[in-house]
């Protein structure tokens, strides 16, 4: 069963938790008990394909979904219509002892697809299972990648409407094009004047506004979330940690049972938290290395135990990590304190009131046994893209390059030789300009547009341009709305009244 990080009487099945997205206390849903894998079960994953591995992991959490329900959700999400490789999440060796876990082979070329191809399936099934009569309205705040992945996942899904809010100046041109050209009869896409935190706070406000929720319910609408606060977003991400480990064993890079590190480019703390769950479940993980860009609030937190969001917000070339409030940290705090909901609630209240909270030495020590953290600025990021390309002919996107650089810093600081996976979260084509600028001289780029840049990258790497990105060229711009952050509730009503 699922309960809230901030206590209260909610005790729900997985289907109900996925349907609601966020708990009534304002907290996040967490599993009451964390299931585990035996060494034998882990070894059994090695010979399975991605879908079968997904089944093995998800079945332990989604107890109320029947076997056939789960299997059909997984089949609909992870197949070769949606992903450009049979492996779904391939592990690629680059140089010696660097393994990149490529999570960007889905329809929108970023790792959000790993969760957002499955979430609509899990949610639709949840609506049937719980006999829900209302229509579900999904609200999404996006720093760029979630929005498009959610739109693709939820477009034209029965009984569901989706509104995506993105920061007006905070996404890359390709990310913007992906969203404003979105087709589908149940979608709205709105630019917010502000940064990602403004958009996220605006969405959270709507979720906490009981008057608005009641008014929506009167009209037959139930709110839900596709952000990583929804358990249905998080649980699919646990799978690829197990899958990467199984692939390391399969490729004879490690022996079954040996520990590995994962370095994760982190923003909202959803991806790396899934790695933490994998560790709690018995996957042999040594360190989870948290990589940030100049918005290094998590680096400071994991080093000092002080979370302080009162700092300048930086726009970087890794925009999906331009975040100062990492929502999923709340789940980590819950598990770290052994489920002390009063303590978690108190820290979150402090964060809301003052922008700062301190966890103290005892808890900090506990976190540091698992996590290590550092950050890289834009200049280092560009240098890594260039260096990896010239040494290995392998092109990373800026988010992955941040992780690569932080992993180098970890190796230097600790000397730890444990085999390490670098989690690769986006295709380099998605951040064409930053990537091309890192490996080409200025005058060779001058005058290129979004699409000629894609072609240039393809020529340099010999990799094909992802089909969905190439086809943006011929798509019509459908969504032109923008609003102030205060106007977000009105925009939700506007979408629903139009329907």
Please report how close the Cβ of residue 485 comes to ligand PLP at its closest, in angstroms: 20
Q: Identify which of residues 111 and 372 has a Cβ nearer to ligand PLP in the complex.
A: 111
Q: Which residues contact 317 (CB under 8 A, 6 or more apart)?
A: 378, 381, 382, 398, 431, 434
Residue window 262-291: x/- pattern of binding to ligand PLP, with contact defined by CB under 6 A: ---xxxxxxx--------------------
The residue annotated as part of the active site, out of 9, 19, 82, 112, is 112
* Alpha-helical regions (H) of 375-431: 378-392, 398-414
* Residues in region 420-439 near ligand PLP by CB under 6 A: 425-426
Q: Which residues contact 413 (CB under 8 A, 6 or more apart)?
A: 374
Q: Which two tokens stand for residue 382?
A: 């560009």
Q: Is there binding between residue 322 and ligand PLP (CB under 6 A)? A: no
Kindly tell me which residue out of 187, 321, 332, 370 binds ligand PLP, with binding defined by CB under 6 A.
321
* Residues in region 392-421 near ligand PLP by CB under 6 A: 399
Q: Identify which of residues 331 and 399 has a Cβ nearer to ligand PLP in the complex.
A: 399
Please report how close the Cβ of residue 227 comes to ligand PLP at its closest, in angstroms: 9
- Tell me the backbone φ, ψ of residue 406, rounded to 5 degrees: -65, -35
Please report how close the Cβ of residue 268 comes to ligand PLP at its closest, in angstroms: 3
Residue with tokens 């003052």: 354
Number of residues that bind ligand PLP (CB under 6 A): 17
Please report how close the Cβ of residue 105 comes to ligand PLP at its closest, in angstroms: 13
* Binding region for ligand PLP (CB under 6 A) out of 106-114, 125-133, 342-350, 484-492: 106-114
Is the separation of the CB atoms in 298 and 272 below 8 Å?
no
Among candidate residues 188, 80, 179, 191, the one with its CA nearest the CA of residue 472: 179
Strand partners, 265: 291
Please report how close the Cβ of residue 166 comes to ligand PLP at its closest, in angstroms: 12
Please report how close the Cβ of residue 399 comes to ligand PLP at its closest, in angstroms: 4
Q: Identify which of residues 250 and 279 has a Cβ nearer to ligand PLP in the complex.
A: 279
Residue window 7-46: x/- pattern of binding to ligand PLP, with contact defined by CB under 6 A: ----------------------------------------
| Strand 135-141, strand 160-167: pairing | parallel
Residue with tokens 């929502």: 327
Residue window 65-104: x/- pattern of binding to ligand PLP, with contact defined by CB under 6 A: ----------------------------------------
Q: Identify which of residues 229 and 249 has a Cβ nearer to ligand PLP in the complex.
A: 229
Is the separation of the CB atoms in 215 and 61 below 8 Å?
no
Q: What is the DSSP letter of 475?
A: P
Collapse the DSSP code of 12 into the 3-class scheme (helix H, G, I; strand E, B; otherwise coil) and give the result: strand
Rg for the chain, CA atoms, rounded: 21
Q: Identify which of residues 265 and 489 has a Cβ nearer to ligand PLP in the complex.
A: 265
Please report how close the Cβ of residue 237 comes to ligand PLP at its closest, in angstroms: 8
Residue window 124-163: x/- pattern of binding to ligand PLP, with contact defined by CB under 6 A: ---------------------x------------------
* Binding region for ligand PLP (CB under 6 A) out of 84-92, 196-204, 245-253, 260-268: 260-268
With b meaning 16 or more CB within 10 Å and e meaning fewer, what string describes 28-54? bbbbeeeeebeeeebeebeebebbebb
Collapse the DSSP code of 52 into the 3-class scheme (helix H, G, I; strand E, B; otherwise coil) and give the result: helix
Q: Identify which of residues 12 and 149 has a Cβ nearer to ligand PLP in the complex.
A: 149
Q: Catalytic site residue 205?
A: no
CA angle 23, 298, 322 (to 5 degrees): 85
* Binding region for ligand PLP (CB under 6 A) out of 24-32, 35-43, 110-118, 479-487: 110-118
Please report how close the Cβ of residue 113 comes to ligand PLP at its closest, in angstroms: 10
Q: What is the distance between the alpha carbons of residues 466 and 473, in angstroms, rounded to a whole number?
A: 12
Q: Where are the beta strands (DSSP E) in 157-269?
A: 160-167, 187-193, 221-225, 260-265
Collapse the DSSP code of 2 into the 3-class scheme (helix H, G, I; strand E, B; otherwise coil) and give the result: strand
Q: What is the distance between the alpha carbons of residues 50 and 79, in angstroms, rounded to a whole number?
A: 10
Residue with tokens 């959700």: 73
Strand partners, 264: 290
Q: Identify which of residues 61 and 221 has a Cβ nearer to ligand PLP in the complex.
A: 61
Q: Which residues are catalytic?
A: 112
Summarize as ranges the residues that interact with ligand PLP (CB under 6 A).
110-112, 145, 228, 265-271, 320-321, 399, 425-426
């Amino acid at each position: 069963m699922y309960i809230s990080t901030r206590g209260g009487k909610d005790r729900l099945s997985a289907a109900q938790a996925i349907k609601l997205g966020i708990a009534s206390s304002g907290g996040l849903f967490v599993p009451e008990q964390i299931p585990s894998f035996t060494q034998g079960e882990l070894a059994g994953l090695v010979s399975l394909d991605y879908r079968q591995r997904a089944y093995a992991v998800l079945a332990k959490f989604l107890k109320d979904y029947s076997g056939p329900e789960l299997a059909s959700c997984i089949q609909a999400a992870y197949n070769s219509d949606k992903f450009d490789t049979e492996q779904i999440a391939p592990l690629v060796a680059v140089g010696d002892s660097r393994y990149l876990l490529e999570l960007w082979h889905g329809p929108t070329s970023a790792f959000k697809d790993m969760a957002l191809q499955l979430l609509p399936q899990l949610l639709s099934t949840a609506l049937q299972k719980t006999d829900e009569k209302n229509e579900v309205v999904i609200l999404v705040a996006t720093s760029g990648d979630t929005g498009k992945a959610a739109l693709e996942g939820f477009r034209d899904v029965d009984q569901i409407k989706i509104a995506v809010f993105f920061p007006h100046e905070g996404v890359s041109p390709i990310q913007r094009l992906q969203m404003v050209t979105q087709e589908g009869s149940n979608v709205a896409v709105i630019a917010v004047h502000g940064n990602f935190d403004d958009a996220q706070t605006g969405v959270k406000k709507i979720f906490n506004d009981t008057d608005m929720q009641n008014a929506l319910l009167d009209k037959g609408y139930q709110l839900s979330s596709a952000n990583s606060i929804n358990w249905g977003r998080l649980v699919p991400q646990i799978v690829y940690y197990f899958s990467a480990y199984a692939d390391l064993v399969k490729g004879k890079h490690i022996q079954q049972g040996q520990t590995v590190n994962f370095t994760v480019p982190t923003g909202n703390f959803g991806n790396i938290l899934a790695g933490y769950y994998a560790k709690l479940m018995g996957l042999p993980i040594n360190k989870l290395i948290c990589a940030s860009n100049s918005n290094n609030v998590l680096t400071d937190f994991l080093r000092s135990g002080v979370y302080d969001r009162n700092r300048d917000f930086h726009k970087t070339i890794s925009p999906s990590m331009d975040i100062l409030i990492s929502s999923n940290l709340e789940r980590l705090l819950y598990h770290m304190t052994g489920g002390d909901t009063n303590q978690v609630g108190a820290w979150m209240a402090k964060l809301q009131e003052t922008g700062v909270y301190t966890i103290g030495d005892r808890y900090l020590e506990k976190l540091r046994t698992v996590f290590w953290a550092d950050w890289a600025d834009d200049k280092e990021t560009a240098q890594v893209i260039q260096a990896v390309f010239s040494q290995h002919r392998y092109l990373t996107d800026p988010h992955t390059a941040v992780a690569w650089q932080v992993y180098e810093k970890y190796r230097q600081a600790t000397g730890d030789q444990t085999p390490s996976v670098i989690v690769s979260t986006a295709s380099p084509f998605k951040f064409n300009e930053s990537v091309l600028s890192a490996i080409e001289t200025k005058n060779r780029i001058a005058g290129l547009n979004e699409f000629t840049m894609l072609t240039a990258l393809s020529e340099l790497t010999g990799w094909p341009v992802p089909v969905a990105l190439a086809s943006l060229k011929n798509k019509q711009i459908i969504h032109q709305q923008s609003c102030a952050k205060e106007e977000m509730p009105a925009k939700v009503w506007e979408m629903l009244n139009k329907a």
